[in-house]
Structure 1
């Protein structure tokens, strides 16, 4: 019986893998057709300085890696979230724009979207940028959680060897300065020094001299970015046409903001002083006084019913369930974005999507990260900054800071946040022409990457 069960399990696994690859491969064929039809509508003049060549990599660097989606016991099974080319399954059967998106699959989302980029070229010699469709973060799982944990310094070397042996002139033309890839984990996870013995957390991909010249698009960069550049975490909102997008914008505008400030996240329950603990303490000790003029009308004759609300997202329960936190965010004026294990948070982009003004506690959480998508000079227009040291060690109350902002300023900030929504969302692949007129997170990332390439190559030629 045990043998029969094992054979059945193996058969199911093989069947699933072939099913997965057949879907991806057939979808890729359709993507190429869509790409060709899109490219035909774009003139050469429109694509001046915007040509991208997609490097043809063996499937072991991308599609084959997806068949291991349930192979790492220490890491969550991400097989259910491969649907819809990495957007994940819909939140419910009738959902039109909302998906259970896993941030790890940003590499699939970019790969799918770049296949319909209007300025693709088969000739690498005329390309302004070369895209490497390598699923680096997914491949890193075998070093972080799998059997290759003690050889994490080798992460990326197989790819580099391929680039040197297969049409090496593509890489050598600019020594990798015109190459870019997406890595769907914080840069810290790829920054283990090569000489660490024994190895600690992370792989050494970004420490390899071989890839110093390439550009990595990551959801979080280091404080001294050279190789990497931060792009937004994917939210769960992926509209496919202009009507769905505009319907969401109208919902954001109509939302009654009955909560002053909201924190959606985990942590802050230990004894060690930190910003999350301070937030929890302040929320738990706050009480509303409806007779006080300080808490009267915010806008639309709505009064605050809560000073602070907490959506407990401990143990990752919110990651694939946007219903848990999006409605509370729609009802909140300010969304608190304290750093956790790393400075950045996906919640920042969920908050912007809900029209909730983000409140940052350190500059590396966003201001020093997403300069293409959230311009540094405009942070005061759409966000609030409160140094975490002032809150944790000097007793500054977040409530006092936020209540000190004039209501007219709050309304203006909310308008600025709404203006940012297209720039931080990833629209669904194959979206309507009307929606494509609004540049989303992918479009903005491509513009930034191409500009980065032009500046780098200009500096090289000027030497």
Structure 2
């Protein structure tokens, strides 16, 4: 049954790919916006999906291939909510770009060239499979193909006009080529052959050279404007009965870190507030709970948005401490729920998602509390949050709600009405086209 389902999915994607240029051009001006989708052998994308259960040290991601990478619906009557896996961002992006209104069959008129290579999925054989000791080879097959098949497409701008999507953090692809023995990750972003390519991924390095961060996919993928508007109304009218919330794992060891500090403060604050007429109760009667913790240890929340979205709808502030890496999918879940994100590292968002979350707007929709102040200097998160006037909190929440369209990936085949709102995909395309335009203009200036 699973094999039949996967085979049927592959046929659907192949059919959609064959129809990519038949999309009617809308009234949107396509000048300087033409994209050419590079034809790659299926071994670089669709064939990789058939290996979804071949990595015993990694989760079987076959169930999340449904609905062209959005995953299975959370329940049978759901229209907007899916059990999405961030690893499938490459597939989601590929499916969406087939609907892009400014596609061209002619690479000579294209302003950008998209490489539909499922790089993160292909990296699994190096990260979790028997090929880990040859991880420096990740990407070499792709480059050899680009050099041998219609090489003039690459040579026109030496890759400066090419872009691709990688659905894992950049740290997984920047192992130095000369590491012996190899450490974690592959060396894709260290290959000189790909230095000129623009790479979109959910987390970049502190020195953005090749890569640009785009939002992690959440579980919210509305198909039309009515579903989107219904969700926004729910977000706006939701009663915020918790002051702050942390949804995540970790922080249970003895080593000082921000997650441990959050858990300790939450437990202490809730315990001291039980049955006592504290100053918190006197000034914050709208909250029935100071801090709510949704334990997502061992990945139990990853494909079950019900576990954390309802608590987020009931919280005013959602804490976003870094974990293994600085960024979190939870940041975008929180925004989708209208919950004001609280960051503890600037690399968690401010230095990442410049296209989707403008740097100068952060004070309007988020809070920043340096983790060192909390972990080593005894600063209480509760004190910081309680000091913010309610009128300011309302303004911040309104700003968060306005960001929802920019951080969601609407469903493929969505209604024309919903397409009038630029989502995470549209914003990423705009940023990519501008980035490539700037790179090519700089090249011309240098030549002259």
TM-score, normalised on structure 2? 0.96
The match for 2:286 is: 303
CA deviation map 1:246-280 (0-9, x unaligned): 00000000100000000000000000000000000
The answer to whether 1:102 aligns with 2:88 is: no
The answer to whether 1:134 aligns with 2:113 is: no
Q: Is the 8 A contact 1:32 1:115 kept in 2?
A: no
Shift of residue 303, structure 1, vs aligned partner: 1.4
In structure 2, distance between residues paired with 1:208 and 1:453: 20
In structure 2, the CA distance between the partners of 1:258 and 1:35, relative to structure 1 (3 Å rule), is farther
Shift of residue 372, structure 1, vs aligned partner: 0.1
In structure 1, distance between residues paired with 2:10 and 2:374: 49
The answer to whether 1:171 aligns with 2:141 is: no
> What SS does the aligned partner of 1:336 have?
strand
The answer to whether 1:38 aligns with 2:40 is: no
CA deviation map 1:397-420 (0-9, x unaligned): 000000001111000000000000
The match for 1:420 is: 403
The match for 1:207 is: 190
The match for 2:14 is: 28
Q: Is the 8 A contact 2:9 2:66 kept in 1?
A: no
The match for 2:73 is: 90
CA deviation map 1:384-408 (0-9, x unaligned): 0000000000000000000001111
In structure 2, the CA distance between the partners of 1:403 and 1:22, relative to structure 1 (3 Å rule), is same
Shift of residue 194, structure 1, vs aligned partner: 0.0
Would you say how many aligned residue pairs link Structure 1 and Structure 2? 443
CA deviation map 1:200-253 (0-9, x unaligned): 000000000000000110000000010110000000000000000000000000
> What SS does the aligned partner of 1:85 have?
coil
The match for 1:54 is: 37
Where structure 1 has 5 or more consecutive residues not aligned to the other structure, the ranges are: 1-11
Where structure 2 has 5 or more consecutive residues not aligned to the other structure, the ranges are: none
The match for 2:339 is: 356
In structure 2, distance between residues paired with 1:421 and 1:245: 10
Shift of residue 38, structure 1, vs aligned partner: 3.3
CA deviation map 1:304-357 (0-9, x unaligned): 010000000000000000000000000000000000000000000000000000
The match for 1:318 is: 301
The answer to whether 1:192 aligns with 2:175 is: yes
The answer to whether 1:387 aligns with 2:370 is: yes
> What SS does the aligned partner of 1:429 have?
coil
TM-score, normalised on structure 1? 0.93
Shift of residue 20, structure 1, vs aligned partner: 1.9
Runs of 4+ in 1 over 6 A off after TM superposition: none
The match for 1:9 is: none
Q: Is the 8 A contact 1:124 1:170 kept in 2?
A: yes
The match for 2:95 is: 112
Shift of residue 432, structure 1, vs aligned partner: 0.1
Equivalent position to 1:407, from 381, 390, 396: 390
